[in-house]
């Protein structure tokens, strides 16, 4: 027998990584990357850390002006003046040293991460932070384009950002007991409503019987005899599975806060209902095309193209048609349709026609992020065509997450 020596390599210990960041700080950095509109004041400024590692007097003296110029040059892959190359290299090295110093001071307890602002850190140390987030497995990569970065988030990042969105929406909100979705229809269930009705043995179960009210009926007859005619019951609730379809306009006009607000709403609602067996959410991104969004994909959407509301409503109808239960469609858009998948109908008439086809299978909630008169009239006609519809206007799209999570996530 030949004995072979087997070399067991010791696995790397994740706890020994000296560069790792606290989970709360990673959450704040990821959320700030996704939503740059949430600002936070900071006691400690990243620029002050960078300046500590700069020796060039000219760079220190003109830091504010040169900082803007250097960041612009770095973001556009080049140097417009060769005399600045040494100063840019020193500037880059100072940034790396500053970020490493900040991480060390956090780990050693010298500073609290709450004294730092995630948007300030990203503004001054964005590249260094992104490299760490890639290393930690939250970001798959990024691409520089003029005036902005295109970041590829992954499912791990989406989960963390989703939890952050829910926490923001539920701040100071008393939680209600979650349950299945009640509807106006009657049914046979052990869950009773407040309405009293005559007892029907074919409809009501024992739990529906209201004993105090039944005994009062007996007491009203002076002989106190008990008769089946005296029995009353609480009308049972009809509980069923609810299927939400969220249609998010990702056309070119949905840039800025409107786009961030719509994505926040979808991620937040998906996060709060994912543990609810009675509910299901399909997220559809639409412009002149439609795409069903899976987990890990929504943060990487980008607004572009034209707006075909009719095509989006058609997709919602196809999804709900395959399901059993109550269908609720949310349409989030900022303007009237500009494209029609039906060559024989105008974009507006196509949207109205598809809304009408939802009449018997779903409720339609239209979320308006614009106030144009033509847009408002088309929304009103879509609501009328569908029948069971509501229209909401949000002046601040960043409030959308609060509305969806509180209204639909907790009921």
Residue 26 lies in a domain: yes
**Residue that terminates a domain, selected from 194, 216, 239:** 239
Closest CA to 253 of 373, 316, 337: 337
* CA 374 vs CA 200, 309, 336, 379: distances in Å: 52, 14, 7, 9
90 and 212 part of one domain: no
100 and 229 part of one domain: no
247 and 371 part of one domain: yes
253 and 399 part of one domain: yes
φ/ψ (deg, to 5) at 279? -135, 155
Q: Are 410 and 175 in contact (CB under 8 A)?
A: yes
Residue 164 lies in a domain: no
Residue 173 lies in a domain: no
Pairwise CA distance, residues 115 & 121, whole Å = 11
Angle at 293 between CA 287 and CA 299, to 5 degrees: 90
Q: Are 228 and 217 in contact (CB under 8 A)?
A: no
232 and 255 part of one domain: no
Q: State which residues form the domain around 271.
A: 241-409
The per-residue pLDDT string of the chain (411 residues; one tens digit each, 9 = 90 and over) reads: 334 343 434 444 433 343 478 899 999 999 999 999 988 888 889 888 988 888 888 777 777 777 776 766 656 554 445 556 777 788 888 889 999 999 999 998 899 888 999 999 998 898 899 999 999 999 999 887 766 678 999 999 999 999 999 888 887 555 443 334 444 445 444 445 566 666 666 566 556 666 677 667 777 766 666 666 667 777 666 556 789 999 999 999 999 999 999 999 999 999 888 766 667 899 999 999 999 999 889 999 999 999 999 999 999 999 999 887 789 999 999 999 999 999 999 999 999 999 999 998 999 999 999 888 999 999 999 999 999 899 999 999 999 999 998 888 765
199 and 347 part of one domain: no
Helix 118-136 crosses helix 23-34 at what angle (to 10 degrees)? 110
Pairwise CA distance, residues 270 & 395, whole Å = 23
Pairwise CA distance, residues 366 & 20, whole Å = 44
Residue 3 lies in a domain: no
136 and 188 part of one domain: no
What is the reported pTM? 0.76
Residue located via tokens 């926040």? 264
φ/ψ (deg, to 5) at 9? -80, 130
Count of the separate structural domains present in the chain: 3
70 and 101 part of one domain: yes
* CA 79 vs CA 60, 72, 73, 87, 143: distances in Å: 20, 9, 6, 11, 19
Pairwise CA distance, residues 167 & 170, whole Å = 5
Residue 327 lies in a domain: yes
250 and 231 part of one domain: no
**Residue that terminates a domain, selected from 207, 239, 271:** 239
Pairwise CA distance, residues 102 & 129, whole Å = 11
Written as one string, the DSSP assignment of 171-200 is: TT-PPPPP-PEEEEEE---S-EEEEEEE--
φ/ψ (deg, to 5) at 141? 160, 180
pLDDT score recorded for residue 65: 74
129 and 51 part of one domain: yes
Pairwise CA distance, residues 153 & 138, whole Å = 7
39 and 125 part of one domain: yes
223 and 273 part of one domain: no
H/E stretch holding 125 reads helix 118-136
Q: Are 321 and 363 in contact (CB under 8 A)?
A: no
Residue 167 lies in a domain: no
Closest CA to 98 of 136, 47, 139, 148: 47
Residues in the chain: 411
Q: Which CATH number is 312's domain given? A: 3.40.50.410
**Residue that terminates a domain, selected from 239, 265, 280:** 239
Pairwise CA distance, residues 333 & 366, whole Å = 8
Q: Are 285 and 250 in contact (CB under 8 A)?
A: yes
Residue 6 lies in a domain: no
Contacts (Cβ under 8 Å, ≥6 apart) of 203: 186, 188, 236
């Amino acid at each position: 027998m030949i004995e072979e020596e087997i070399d067991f390599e010791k696995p790397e210990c994740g706890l020994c990584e000296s560069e790792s960041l606290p989970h709360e700080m990673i959450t704040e950095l990821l959320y700030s990357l996704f939503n740059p509109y949430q600002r936070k004041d900071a006691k400690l400024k990243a620029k002050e850390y960078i300046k500590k590692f700069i020796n060039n007097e000219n760079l220190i003296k003109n830091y504010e002006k040169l900082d803007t110029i250097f960041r612009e040059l770095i973001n556009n892959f080049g140097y417009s003046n060769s005399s600045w190359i040494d100063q840019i290299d020193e500037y880059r090295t100072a940034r790396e040293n500053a970020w490493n110093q900040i991480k060390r001071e956090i780990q050693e307890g010298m500073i609290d991460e709450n004294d730092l602002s995630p948007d300030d850190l990203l503004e001054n140390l964005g590249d260094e932070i992104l490299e760490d987030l890639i290393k930690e497995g939250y970001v798959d990569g990024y691409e520089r384009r003029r005036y902005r970065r295109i970041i590829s988030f992954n499912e791990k990042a989406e989960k963390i950002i989703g939890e952050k969105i829910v926490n923001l929406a539920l701040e100071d909100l008393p939680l209600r007991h979650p349950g299945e979705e009640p509807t106006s229809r009657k049914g046979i269930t052990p869950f009773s409503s407040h309405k009293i009705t005559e007892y029907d043995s074919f409809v009501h179960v024992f739990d529906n019987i209201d004993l105090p009210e039944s005994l009062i009926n007996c007491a009203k007859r002076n002989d106190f005899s008990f008769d089946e005619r005296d029995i009353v019951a609480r009308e049972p609730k009809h509980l069923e599975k609810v299927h939400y379809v969220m249609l998010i306009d990702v056309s070119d006009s949905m840039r800025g806060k409107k786009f961030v607000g719509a994505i926040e709403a979808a991620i937040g609602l998906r996060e709060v209902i994912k543990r609810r067996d009675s509910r299901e959410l399909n997220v559809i991104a639409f412009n002149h095309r439609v795409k069903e969004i899976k987990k890990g994909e929504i943060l990487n959407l980008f607004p572009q193209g034209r707006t075909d509301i009719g095509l989006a409503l058609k997709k919602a109808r196809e999804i709900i048609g395959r399901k059993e239960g109550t269908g609720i469609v949310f349409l989030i858009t900022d303007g009237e349709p500009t494209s029609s998948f039906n060559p024989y109908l105008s974009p507006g008439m196509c949207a109205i026609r598809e809304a009408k086809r939802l009449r018997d299978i779903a409720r339609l909630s239209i979320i308006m992020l614009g106030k144009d008169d033509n847009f408002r009239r088309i929304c009103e006609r879509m609501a009328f065509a569908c029948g069971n519809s509501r229209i909401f206007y949000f002046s601040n799209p960043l409030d959308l997450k609060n509305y969806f999570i509180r209204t639909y996530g907790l009921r």
